[in-house]
Amino acid sequence: MQTKITYKGYIDGVYGIYCGFCPENIEIEEEVTVYYPDENKVFIKDGEEYDAVVLKEGESISDYDEVEVTE
């Protein structure tokens, strides 16, 4: 599992979402941690598969199982 930061905010009055990198001139409104499973794996919670996870309020990444992808 790995994590990346997504930066949300304004550049020259335009709202943007910058995933995994932070532009120099951004007015940051929010930073979000995104969890990615290792290669050839997915997260599973309640039977649903996820290729990336943004935790909702009250959630922990341990709520998600990381399993091998099956064809």
Partner 1 sequence: MTLYKGTQKVCPIVTIEPTLTTKTITQNGTYNASSDNADGYSSVTVNVSGGGTKYGATGGTFLGDVDADGVLQVTNTSLTTLNFTGVKDIADRGLMFRFCYVGIGSGSNMTYTEFRGFNIEYATFTDLEQISGERACHYAFERNPLISISFPKLETISGPYACTGMCCNCTSLTTVDLSNLTSISANNVFRLTFDGCTSLTSVVFSKLSVMDGSNIMYRAFKGCTSLQTLSFPTLNSNSFGSSTNQFSQMLNNVTGCTVHFPSNLQSVIGSWSDVTSGFGGTNTTVLFDLPATT
- Report the alpha-carbon distance of residue 61 to residue 47 in Å, rounded: 15
Q: What are phi and psi of 62, to 5 degrees?
A: -70, -10
**How far apart are CB 25 and partner 1 at their closest, in Å?**
13
**Does residue 66 bind partner 1 (CB under 8 A)?**
no
Q: For partner 1, what does the binding mask look like between residues 1 and 40, x meaning CB under 8 A?
A: -----x-x-----xxxxxxxx----------x-x-x----
User: Which of 27, 51, 59, 63 is in the footprint of partner 1 by CB under 8 A?
Assistant: 51
Maximal CA-CA distance, the chain: 45
Contacts of 20 (CB under 8 A, 6+ apart): 4, 5, 6
Residues of this chain that interact with partner 1 (CB under 8 A) are 6, 8, 14-21, 32, 34, 36, 50-54, 71
